[in-house]
Amino acid sequence: MGDREQPTDRVFLVTGATGRVGTEAVSLLARDARRPEVRIATRDIDGPWVGLMKRFAPQRVRPVRLDVDDADGPEAALDGVTDLIVVPPLMPDMEGWHARVAEAARAGGCTHIVKVSVTGARAADSDPPPGAIPTQHFLGEEALRASGVPTTAIRPTIFAQHFTGVPALYQPGADRFFLPTGDAPVAFLDCRDIALMALAVLWSPPQARERHAGQSYELTGPHGIRARDVAEILSAVAGRPITHVDGRDTYRAHAADAGLPEGPLRVYAEAAEGHFGGVETDAFEAVTARRPRTFAEFAADHAAVFASRSTG
Ligand SMILES: NC(=O)c1ccc[n+]([C@@H]2O[C@H](COP(=O)([O-])OP(=O)(O)OC[C@H]3O[C@@H](n4cnc5c(N)ncnc54)[C@H](OP(=O)(O)O)[C@@H]3O)[C@@H](O)[C@H]2O)c1
């Protein structure tokens, strides 16, 4: 039997902590045998989800207030933080906000930042030019790198969790999913692997961590899969046919009829053009010594979402 790990004095802070990636990062940190302090940055420190997350490790998980729209800066939240994971909401001034966060992190004693960016983030004058979201994320990356705090960017592709969190795409228990990606492959990525990658970078031994400073890592799932493959996988998990409904207009009409927000329809349109089919897992495998989860593993782990409601 191995020795029990000594508690670390490192202090982690996760922005976007109540979101899909952030929750996974907090969950990993809460279970970590090194028992770090975990600050969960949120606009509502008394919210029910925050209350739930505190229960992950009541002695060590601490909510701190952070609203990117507030005039109050992030200084108080970041004071004493050694390891920072930035999962930002999209905001008009990504560059300015990231610069303020980096400055507060530096002043607070932070030794490394991992930023969750987006696939294809690059400068606006690149050829071909990036879309609006990758451009904004790249400005955020650059602001962090310019601060002098060692920074690593992770650039994930489309999350598999769209199937559990975008109701216009899929609603729990439904027999159909609406995904206007035609026959194009998409290398869906599980959010749990983004959190795993971020933490693997931060917990790397010092020399390896130094090598991650200034790096940007593209990250996708292990296979590009087509919507018809998704239908097969979901049907197998649910034990009944779950069919694919294609077409942008159909998706839009379905969302409108059901009174659902459209979700990231533009991203699906780009996917239909083949922009999210490539596979890039080398960095993930090198840093974590694992391969990212397949879509089939994601579906199996969320089987309850795909089970028929009528069977209770
Ligand atoms: N969806 C994708 O497929 C995809 C792919 C690649 C990259 N990304 C990037 O991933 C990030 C989103 O990650 P996610 O899906 O994990 O997030 P999410 O589930 O959408 O959660 C958003 C988080 O942002 C926080 N937030 C919202 N408004 C805020 C504000 N004004 N101030 C401070 N915090 C605020 C919320 O925290 P509170 O409500 O607790 O304050 C929440 O935890 C974005 O940067 C996106 O561009 C997404």
Q: Within a domain: residue 134?
A: yes
Integer angstrom CA distances of residue 161 from 169, 189, 200, 208, 253: 11, 8, 21, 30, 22
Q: How far does the centroid of ligand 1 lie from the alpha carbon of residue 311, in Å?
A: 34
pLDDT at 310: 60
Q: Within a domain: residue 269?
A: no
Indicate which atom in ligand 1 lies nearest the CA of residue 49.
40
Q: Which of 160, 224, 156 is nearest to 186 (CA)?
A: 224
Q: In 57-180, where do the E strands start and end?
A: 61-65, 83-86, 112-116, 151-156, 176-178
pLDDT at 213: 98
Distance in angstroms (rounded) separating the CA atoms of residues 111 and 157: 27
pLDDT at 6: 78
Q: Within a domain: residue 179?
A: no
Ligand 1 close to Cβ of residue 66 (< 6 A): yes
Q: Within a domain: residue 220?
A: no
Q: Within a domain: residue 107?
A: yes
Indicate which atom in ligand 1 lies nearest the CA of residue 18.
43
Q: Within a domain: residue 31?
A: yes
Q: Within a domain: residue 71?
A: yes
Task: Give me the number of domains the chain comprises.
Answer: 1
Distance in angstroms (rounded) separating the CA atoms of residues 200 and 214: 16
Query: What's the average pLDDT block by block, 10 residues per block, for the chain (312 residues)?
Result: 72 98 98 97 97 97 94 93 97 95 97 97 94 95 96 98 98 98 98 98 97 98 98 98 98 97 95 96 98 98 90 42
Ligand 1 close to Cβ of residue 21 (< 6 A): yes
Q: Within a domain: residue 70?
A: yes
Q: How far does the centroid of ligand 1 lie from the alpha carbon of residue 208, in Å?
A: 28
User: Residue 94's domain spans which residues?
Assistant: 11-156
Q: Give the CATH number, domain containing residue 149.
A: 3.40.50.720
Ligand 1 close to Cβ of residue 88 (< 6 A): yes
Mutation to probe ligand 1, out of 66, 97, 116 (largest number of atoms < 8 A from CB): 116
Amino acid, single-letter form, for residue 286: A
pLDDT at 312: 39
Q: How far does the centroid of ligand 1 lie from the alpha carbon of residue 186, in Å?
A: 21
Ligand 1 close to Cβ of residue 164 (< 6 A): no
Pair of tokens at residue 97: 């906000």
CA nearest ligand 1 atom 28, residue: 89
